[in-house]
Structure 1
């Protein structure tokens, strides 16, 4: 039996499970069921103490790429396999969000919006795609898909990963020195990094200050990676041109936060890449079959790395 814990649009998920695995018994908090019979839990933003209700739990599925809400919990043993989604329609949405942010700077749409508010008719010289160097921090499964997709639009794309990999059409930097090199040559810096002790506060004045003057930041990873005060200072002194922020230290973003009214910041409510039920359920069902066959599921979270 699988327990499903997600809101809203719960029925879409139930319908998808019924379609892809009709013999799987799926229950929710609205149902009357025996908790002892629950073998798996599929959840997004699980409530406090949720997993403690199921004494025979064999695995947990995180219905998203991030697993912040699942690790280091008192009610979930590290011995229970935790499995995250690898894409589920998120890569295409991430590419769309990054393209929007990149085009905002490339075609000066932010500047034209400001001119409109001033009733000014003034044309700017546009830049071509090959003049916009995109740097991606984080080349995991999702980051690799995003990087390869962006190259098809004609943008020069580089990426950074702690371990070495080869990625067709993408220049890959590794290590601390590689991080500095990537940042120094990025007109748009995009964070797709996981949330780890090493990445928290990584995007501070020291690192962001190495971006070329007039560069932009896109954060679609985790808000805790950015030192807000440092970013604001770099925007205010015109070192950075624009920031598209989809994630924050506190969500929802407090109404008095300076990001809301800053003319160089675009705030979006953690919507850059929503999990789509159909592809997500197909991944969960495929991994359930792997578990039943004694095989390692795809997206298994490694305890040592936290992702």
Structure 2
């Protein structure tokens, strides 16, 4: 009886152990399946998102014959011909459009970032009557679509005789309510009040404090706002369409649109429009790649030891 009891006890001890070890493989298999499903979904989303970019890159290398046979037909490559057409068509007007876009987006984004950072710093560090109400009014500007303000600005600029000038595009580009909001957020996180108070105790003026102390700490915020505004101005279309009538003042987006409309009666303009649109994307990509390190440096900006 004792041996039988011991055998039953041993079986009772080994049985649950076997039962516990059985389901251990199922969680790992489920995790593996879940990872595979997530990775598959991400790959499909990436292919879906990047396919139009691939189509645009391939279409930019084709002439009319190649476009008619399909962008994935590699027997009609005319990239050199298309680039030569961009340079020589209408006495190199495409290069003029690119320079105009660099002027509008470069100066406009830099000035906008400086104004936004300065305004955000003022809203964060200074105390004055009606500050929150004024900041709320600024935030209301975020809710207003930029396209809704173009017609009122056109009427205002027409009275000031600024329509069809560079200023008609530059002046609206330096205003960005969302940039002011970002400037206040960056100032709150990266500029300690203790540093500002110490500078005031040392006798530094407010302008010197902002330029020598606060602005270097807000470098990542300045870069972020500038990149957002640069992309918005570079890709902007409706403002220039309404304000400008001189072809020599067009930005590259409006110029490529004009070529696209001309390609309806003249199909020979289609490769130029596609190649011009592809080349116009490159400066924004290069700028984002070159300045992304400033975002990383901003993670430790303004720290106090």
Point out the structure with max Rg over C-alpha. 2
Assess same fold via TM > 0.5.
Answer: no
More strand by share: 1
Which range, TM-score by smaller chain? under 0.3
The normalised TM-score by structure 1 is 0.24
The normalised TM-score by structure 2 is 0.24
Answer 1 or 2: higher relative contact order, Cα 8 Å, separation at least 6. Answer: 2
More helix by share: 2
